[in-house]
Amino acid sequence: MKSHPVEISPPDISPYRTGNTGVDYVHVLDSGRPGPNVMVQALTHGNEYCGAIAVDFLFKQAVKPVTGKLTLAFANFAAFARFDFNDPDRSRYIDEDYNRVWGDDVLLGARDSSELRRARELRPFVDAADYLLDLHSMHEPCRPIMVCGTQENGGAKSAAFSRRIGVPGDLLIDTGHPAGLRMIERGAFNDPASPKTAVLIECGQHWEMSAADVAVDTVFRFLAAAGAVSASICKSHARLAPPAVQRVVRVTEPVVANSLNLKFPYLFKGLEVIPRAGTVVATDGDTIWKTPYDDCVMVMPSLAHVKPGATVLRLGRYD
Protein backbone atom coordinates (compact mmCIF):
# COMPACT_ATOMS: atom_id res chain seq x y z
CA MET A 1 0.00 0.00 0.00
CA LYS A 2 1.41 3.36 -1.07
CA SER A 3 2.16 5.74 1.80
CA HIS A 4 1.79 9.50 1.60
CA PRO A 5 4.01 12.16 3.18
CA VAL A 6 2.81 13.77 6.38
CA GLU A 7 3.01 17.51 5.69
CA ILE A 8 0.94 18.76 8.62
CA SER A 9 1.57 18.04 12.29
CA PRO A 10 -1.23 16.86 14.57
CA PRO A 11 -2.39 19.71 16.82
CA ASP A 12 -2.22 19.64 20.59
CA ILE A 13 -5.85 19.33 21.66
CA SER A 14 -5.15 18.59 25.32
CA PRO A 15 -6.19 22.10 26.44
CA TYR A 16 -9.70 21.32 25.24
CA ARG A 17 -10.31 18.12 27.19
CA THR A 18 -12.35 19.79 29.93
CA GLY A 19 -15.17 21.77 28.43
CA ASN A 20 -18.42 23.06 29.86
CA THR A 21 -20.64 20.07 29.08
CA GLY A 22 -19.37 17.32 31.38
CA VAL A 23 -18.21 15.38 28.29
CA ASP A 24 -14.52 15.39 27.41
CA TYR A 25 -13.57 17.44 24.35
CA VAL A 26 -17.07 18.84 23.82
CA HIS A 27 -17.68 22.58 24.24
CA VAL A 28 -20.98 24.43 23.83
CA LEU A 29 -20.68 28.17 23.23
CA ASP A 30 -23.99 29.92 23.92
CA SER A 31 -24.66 33.38 22.51
CA GLY A 32 -27.57 33.88 24.90
CA ARG A 33 -29.74 34.87 21.93
CA PRO A 34 -32.28 32.80 20.01
CA GLY A 35 -30.87 31.08 16.96
CA PRO A 36 -29.73 27.81 15.45
CA ASN A 37 -27.87 25.08 17.28
CA VAL A 38 -24.78 24.56 15.14
CA MET A 39 -22.19 21.80 15.57
CA VAL A 40 -18.71 21.26 14.13
CA GLN A 41 -17.06 17.89 14.71
CA ALA A 42 -13.44 16.92 14.06
CA LEU A 43 -11.60 13.60 14.51
CA THR A 44 -14.40 11.29 13.47
CA HIS A 45 -11.36 9.25 12.46
CA GLY A 46 -8.24 9.74 14.54
CA ASN A 47 -5.85 9.92 11.60
CA GLU A 48 -7.90 12.64 9.85
CA TYR A 49 -6.78 15.63 11.84
CA CYS A 50 -6.98 18.53 9.39
CA GLY A 51 -10.41 19.11 10.94
CA ALA A 52 -8.85 19.22 14.41
CA ILE A 53 -6.50 21.92 13.11
CA ALA A 54 -9.56 23.91 12.02
CA VAL A 55 -11.38 23.51 15.35
CA ASP A 56 -8.18 24.39 17.23
CA PHE A 57 -8.03 27.53 15.09
CA LEU A 58 -11.61 28.44 16.10
CA PHE A 59 -10.63 28.20 19.75
CA LYS A 60 -7.45 30.22 19.27
CA GLN A 61 -9.39 32.93 17.43
CA ALA A 62 -11.98 32.96 20.24
CA VAL A 63 -14.78 32.59 17.71
CA LYS A 64 -18.20 32.95 19.34
CA PRO A 65 -21.72 32.57 17.95
CA VAL A 66 -23.74 35.74 17.45
CA THR A 67 -27.03 33.83 17.76
CA GLY A 68 -27.94 30.40 19.07
CA LYS A 69 -25.34 27.88 20.18
CA LEU A 70 -22.12 26.56 18.69
CA THR A 71 -20.92 23.09 19.70
CA LEU A 72 -17.30 22.17 19.00
CA ALA A 73 -16.32 18.54 19.43
CA PHE A 74 -13.25 16.37 19.00
CA ALA A 75 -14.80 12.96 18.47
CA ASN A 76 -12.43 9.97 18.52
CA PHE A 77 -9.72 11.57 20.63
CA ALA A 78 -8.64 8.15 21.95
CA ALA A 79 -7.70 6.97 18.47
CA PHE A 80 -6.06 10.32 17.68
CA ALA A 81 -3.90 10.01 20.81
CA ARG A 82 -2.06 7.04 19.33
CA PHE A 83 -1.16 8.75 16.04
CA ASP A 84 2.27 7.59 14.90
CA PHE A 85 4.15 9.18 12.00
CA ASN A 86 5.60 5.74 11.20
CA ASP A 87 2.16 4.11 11.07
CA PRO A 88 -0.36 6.92 10.52
CA ASP A 89 -3.28 4.68 9.51
CA ARG A 90 -3.23 2.89 12.87
CA SER A 91 -5.05 5.74 14.56
CA ARG A 92 -8.16 5.63 12.35
CA TYR A 93 -10.11 4.00 15.19
CA ILE A 94 -9.66 1.78 18.26
CA ASP A 95 -12.24 -1.00 17.82
CA GLU A 96 -14.49 -0.06 14.92
CA ASP A 97 -15.39 2.80 12.61
CA TYR A 98 -17.01 5.58 14.66
CA ASN A 99 -18.86 6.71 11.53
CA ARG A 100 -20.79 3.47 11.01
CA VAL A 101 -22.58 3.23 14.38
CA TRP A 102 -25.22 5.96 14.21
CA GLY A 103 -28.37 3.90 13.78
CA ASP A 104 -30.53 3.50 16.87
CA ASP A 105 -30.31 -0.26 16.49
CA VAL A 106 -26.57 0.04 17.18
CA LEU A 107 -26.41 3.07 19.48
CA LEU A 108 -29.21 1.83 21.72
CA GLY A 109 -28.27 -1.84 21.46
CA ALA A 110 -26.22 -4.07 23.71
CA ARG A 111 -23.01 -4.11 21.66
CA ASP A 112 -19.96 -2.36 23.12
CA SER A 113 -16.79 -0.79 21.73
CA SER A 114 -14.63 2.27 22.33
CA GLU A 115 -16.27 4.04 19.41
CA LEU A 116 -19.79 3.13 20.49
CA ARG A 117 -19.17 4.49 23.97
CA ARG A 118 -17.95 7.75 22.47
CA ALA A 119 -20.87 7.98 20.04
CA ARG A 120 -23.29 7.45 22.92
CA GLU A 121 -21.65 10.37 24.75
CA LEU A 122 -22.00 12.64 21.72
CA ARG A 123 -25.48 11.53 20.65
CA PRO A 124 -27.35 14.24 22.64
CA PHE A 125 -25.27 16.97 20.99
CA VAL A 126 -25.68 15.50 17.52
CA ASP A 127 -29.43 15.08 17.97
CA ALA A 128 -29.77 18.66 19.22
CA ALA A 129 -27.95 20.20 16.23
CA ASP A 130 -29.86 22.12 13.57
CA TYR A 131 -26.78 22.29 11.33
CA LEU A 132 -23.82 19.96 11.56
CA LEU A 133 -20.46 19.87 9.77
CA ASP A 134 -18.36 16.71 10.03
CA LEU A 135 -14.71 17.27 9.03
CA HIS A 136 -12.91 14.45 7.22
CA SER A 137 -10.09 13.77 4.79
CA MET A 138 -9.19 10.99 2.34
CA HIS A 139 -6.45 8.37 2.18
CA GLU A 140 -5.71 9.09 -1.49
CA PRO A 141 -5.02 12.51 -3.02
CA CYS A 142 -8.23 13.95 -4.47
CA ARG A 143 -9.87 17.35 -4.73
CA PRO A 144 -12.30 18.09 -1.88
CA ILE A 145 -15.78 16.52 -1.85
CA MET A 146 -18.85 17.47 0.17
CA VAL A 147 -20.85 14.38 1.13
CA CYS A 148 -24.53 15.34 1.22
CA GLY A 149 -26.23 12.17 2.41
CA THR A 150 -28.34 9.79 0.39
CA GLN A 151 -30.58 10.25 -2.62
CA GLU A 152 -33.74 8.88 -1.05
CA ASN A 153 -33.54 10.95 2.12
CA GLY A 154 -31.66 14.10 3.11
CA GLY A 155 -29.31 14.45 0.14
CA ALA A 156 -31.22 17.16 -1.72
CA LYS A 157 -31.47 19.54 1.24
CA SER A 158 -27.82 18.94 2.15
CA ALA A 159 -26.73 19.69 -1.41
CA ALA A 160 -28.82 22.88 -1.34
CA PHE A 161 -27.18 23.91 1.93
CA SER A 162 -23.74 23.13 0.45
CA ARG A 163 -24.50 25.60 -2.32
CA ARG A 164 -25.13 28.21 0.39
CA ILE A 165 -21.77 27.31 1.91
CA GLY A 166 -20.26 27.77 -1.56
CA VAL A 167 -17.59 25.07 -1.38
CA PRO A 168 -16.31 22.69 -2.59
CA GLY A 169 -16.86 22.20 -6.32
CA ASP A 170 -18.00 18.58 -6.05
CA LEU A 171 -21.15 17.69 -4.06
CA LEU A 172 -21.79 14.00 -3.51
CA ILE A 173 -25.20 12.39 -3.06
CA ASP A 174 -24.65 8.70 -2.48
CA THR A 175 -26.20 5.43 -1.38
CA GLY A 176 -24.85 5.25 2.17
CA HIS A 177 -22.56 2.61 3.66
CA PRO A 178 -23.60 -1.05 3.89
CA ALA A 179 -21.43 -1.32 7.01
CA GLY A 180 -23.59 1.09 9.02
CA LEU A 181 -25.24 4.49 9.34
CA ARG A 182 -23.08 7.60 9.22
CA MET A 183 -23.62 10.50 11.59
CA ILE A 184 -24.85 12.85 8.84
CA GLU A 185 -27.61 10.32 8.04
CA ARG A 186 -28.90 10.09 11.58
CA GLY A 187 -32.47 10.96 12.53
CA ALA A 188 -33.82 14.28 11.31
CA PHE A 189 -30.75 14.88 9.13
CA ASN A 190 -32.02 12.05 6.94
CA ASP A 191 -35.62 13.33 6.84
CA PRO A 192 -36.38 15.48 3.77
CA ALA A 193 -39.25 17.12 5.67
CA SER A 194 -36.99 18.32 8.51
CA PRO A 195 -34.95 21.53 8.25
CA LYS A 196 -32.11 19.92 10.22
CA THR A 197 -29.15 19.51 7.88
CA ALA A 198 -25.77 17.79 8.11
CA VAL A 199 -22.88 17.69 5.67
CA LEU A 200 -19.50 15.96 5.62
CA ILE A 201 -16.47 17.55 3.96
CA GLU A 202 -13.62 15.41 2.63
CA CYS A 203 -10.86 18.04 2.66
CA GLY A 204 -8.29 16.22 0.50
CA GLN A 205 -5.53 13.74 1.31
CA HIS A 206 -5.19 13.23 5.07
CA TRP A 207 -1.85 14.87 5.65
CA GLU A 208 -1.31 17.29 2.80
CA MET A 209 -0.90 20.95 3.66
CA SER A 210 -3.84 22.04 1.54
CA ALA A 211 -6.27 19.84 3.53
CA ALA A 212 -5.86 22.09 6.59
CA ASP A 213 -6.59 25.19 4.51
CA VAL A 214 -9.70 23.53 3.06
CA ALA A 215 -10.85 22.58 6.56
CA VAL A 216 -10.45 26.09 7.98
CA ASP A 217 -11.99 27.74 4.93
CA THR A 218 -14.97 25.36 4.93
CA VAL A 219 -15.63 25.77 8.66
CA PHE A 220 -15.96 29.54 8.38
CA ARG A 221 -18.12 29.37 5.26
CA PHE A 222 -20.32 26.81 7.04
CA LEU A 223 -20.67 29.01 10.13
CA ALA A 224 -21.66 31.96 7.95
CA ALA A 225 -24.21 29.89 5.99
CA ALA A 226 -25.72 28.57 9.23
CA GLY A 227 -26.00 32.09 10.66
CA ALA A 228 -23.91 31.21 13.69
CA VAL A 229 -21.02 33.64 13.23
CA SER A 230 -21.06 37.06 11.59
CA ALA A 231 -20.41 37.05 7.85
CA SER A 232 -17.69 39.68 8.20
CA ILE A 233 -15.68 37.58 10.66
CA CYS A 234 -16.08 34.48 8.51
CA LYS A 235 -15.05 36.37 5.39
CA SER A 236 -11.91 37.64 7.12
CA HIS A 237 -10.79 34.06 7.71
CA ALA A 238 -11.56 32.70 4.23
CA ARG A 239 -8.43 31.08 2.83
CA LEU A 240 -9.42 29.85 -0.61
CA ALA A 241 -11.29 31.14 -3.62
CA PRO A 242 -14.68 29.42 -4.06
CA PRO A 243 -15.17 27.28 -7.16
CA ALA A 244 -16.68 28.87 -10.25
CA VAL A 245 -19.36 26.19 -10.23
CA GLN A 246 -20.56 23.40 -7.93
CA ARG A 247 -21.63 20.12 -9.49
CA VAL A 248 -23.57 17.23 -7.97
CA VAL A 249 -22.32 13.71 -8.55
CA ARG A 250 -24.93 11.06 -7.79
CA VAL A 251 -23.70 7.64 -6.79
CA THR A 252 -25.65 4.79 -8.35
CA GLU A 253 -23.82 1.88 -6.75
CA PRO A 254 -20.96 1.15 -4.37
CA VAL A 255 -18.14 -1.29 -4.93
CA VAL A 256 -18.10 -3.35 -1.72
CA ALA A 257 -15.28 -5.79 -1.00
CA ASN A 258 -16.08 -9.50 -0.67
CA SER A 259 -12.56 -10.30 0.48
CA LEU A 260 -9.09 -8.87 1.08
CA ASN A 261 -8.22 -9.63 -2.56
CA LEU A 262 -10.17 -6.80 -4.20
CA LYS A 263 -8.01 -4.96 -6.74
CA PHE A 264 -8.25 -1.98 -9.07
CA PRO A 265 -6.89 -2.34 -12.61
CA TYR A 266 -5.74 1.29 -12.61
CA LEU A 267 -4.18 3.72 -10.16
CA PHE A 268 -7.23 5.88 -9.56
CA LYS A 269 -6.83 9.40 -8.18
CA GLY A 270 -10.49 10.05 -7.48
CA LEU A 271 -13.22 11.82 -9.47
CA GLU A 272 -11.88 10.53 -12.78
CA VAL A 273 -14.56 10.24 -15.44
CA ILE A 274 -14.40 6.91 -17.31
CA PRO A 275 -15.80 7.65 -20.78
CA ARG A 276 -17.09 4.22 -21.81
CA ALA A 277 -19.62 1.91 -20.21
CA GLY A 278 -18.39 -1.64 -19.61
CA THR A 279 -14.90 -0.63 -18.47
CA VAL A 280 -13.59 -2.90 -15.69
CA VAL A 281 -12.89 -0.86 -12.56
CA ALA A 282 -12.48 -3.53 -9.84
CA THR A 283 -12.09 -7.28 -9.43
CA ASP A 284 -12.48 -9.51 -6.39
CA GLY A 285 -11.92 -13.14 -7.31
CA ASP A 286 -14.68 -14.04 -9.76
CA THR A 287 -16.55 -10.79 -9.10
CA ILE A 288 -15.96 -8.06 -11.66
CA TRP A 289 -17.28 -4.50 -11.47
CA LYS A 290 -17.70 -2.53 -14.69
CA THR A 291 -18.82 1.00 -15.36
CA PRO A 292 -22.61 0.80 -15.83
CA TYR A 293 -22.81 3.82 -18.16
CA ASP A 294 -20.69 6.25 -20.14
CA ASP A 295 -18.93 9.08 -18.27
CA CYS A 296 -18.90 7.19 -14.97
CA VAL A 297 -17.27 9.06 -12.06
CA MET A 298 -14.84 7.24 -9.76
CA VAL A 299 -15.69 8.50 -6.27
CA MET A 300 -13.19 8.08 -3.41
CA PRO A 301 -11.37 4.94 -4.63
CA SER A 302 -9.12 3.52 -1.92
CA LEU A 303 -7.72 0.12 -1.01
CA ALA A 304 -6.36 1.39 2.30
CA HIS A 305 -9.03 -0.30 4.43
CA VAL A 306 -10.05 -3.31 2.34
CA LYS A 307 -12.01 -5.93 4.25
CA PRO A 308 -15.23 -7.82 3.60
CA GLY A 309 -18.14 -5.37 3.65
CA ALA A 310 -16.00 -2.25 3.18
CA THR A 311 -16.91 0.23 0.47
CA VAL A 312 -13.76 0.88 -1.58
CA LEU A 313 -15.24 2.82 -4.51
CA ARG A 314 -18.49 4.47 -5.53
CA LEU A 315 -19.71 4.70 -9.13
CA GLY A 316 -21.57 7.87 -9.99
CA ARG A 317 -22.51 10.39 -12.63
CA TYR A 318 -22.62 14.17 -12.73
CA ASP A 319 -26.04 15.81 -13.02
Which H or E run includes 155?
helix 155-165
pLDDT tens, position by position, 50-101:
999 999 999 999 999 999 999 999 999 999 999 988 888 889 999 999 999 9
- Residue 154: its pLDDT value, please? 74
The conformational region for residue 185 under phi > 0 = left, psi -120 to 50 = alpha, else beta, is alpha
Beta strand extents in the chain (DSSP E only): 26-30, 37-42, 69-74, 131-138, 145-150, 170-174, 197-205, 247-256, 273-274, 280-284, 287-290, 296-299, 311-318
Q: Domain check: are 295 and 232 in the same one?
A: no
Per-residue pLDDT, 305 = 81
| 8 domain residue, yes or no | no
SS3 138: strand
pLDDT in tens, 20-57: 999 999 999 999 999 999 999 999 999 999 999 999 99
The CATH code of the domain that includes 108 is 3.40.630.10
Calpha distance 192→158 (Å, rounded): 9
pLDDT of residue 87: 85
Report residue 195's pLDDT band, with 50, 70 and 90 as the boundaries.
very high
Based on the fold, state whether residues 185 and 280 are members of the same structural domain: no
Could you give the CA distance from residue 237 to residue 220 in angstroms, rounded to a whole number?
7
Nearest alpha-carbon partner for 206 in 135, 309, 132: 135
Confidence of residue 1 (pLDDT cuts 50, 70, 90): very low
Identify the domain boundary among 187, 207, 236: 236
Residue 229 and residue 263 in one domain: no
Q: What are phi and psi of 7, to 5 degrees?
A: -95, -15
d(CA 273, CA 74): 35
Strand 145-150 and strand 131-138: the pairing is unpaired
pTM of the model: 0.95
pLDDT value, residue 2? 56
* 268 shares a domain with 223: no
27 contact partners, CB below 8 Å, separation of at least 6:
16, 19, 20, 21, 59, 71, 72, 73
Contact 122, 44 (CB under 8 A): no
SS3 at position 234? helix
Q: How many domains, in total, are found in the chain?
A: 2
Q: Coil, strand or helix: which one is 33? A: coil
- Identity at 215, one-letter amino acid code: A
Domain that holds residue 44: 14-236
Query: Is 284 a residue whose pLDDT tops 50?
Result: yes
We report the CATH number of the domain holding residue 309 as: 2.40.50
* 7 domain-assigned: no
Rounded (5°) CA angle 164-168-171: 80
Note whether 99 and 179 are within 8 A (CB).
no
Mean pLDDT of the chain, nearest integer: 95
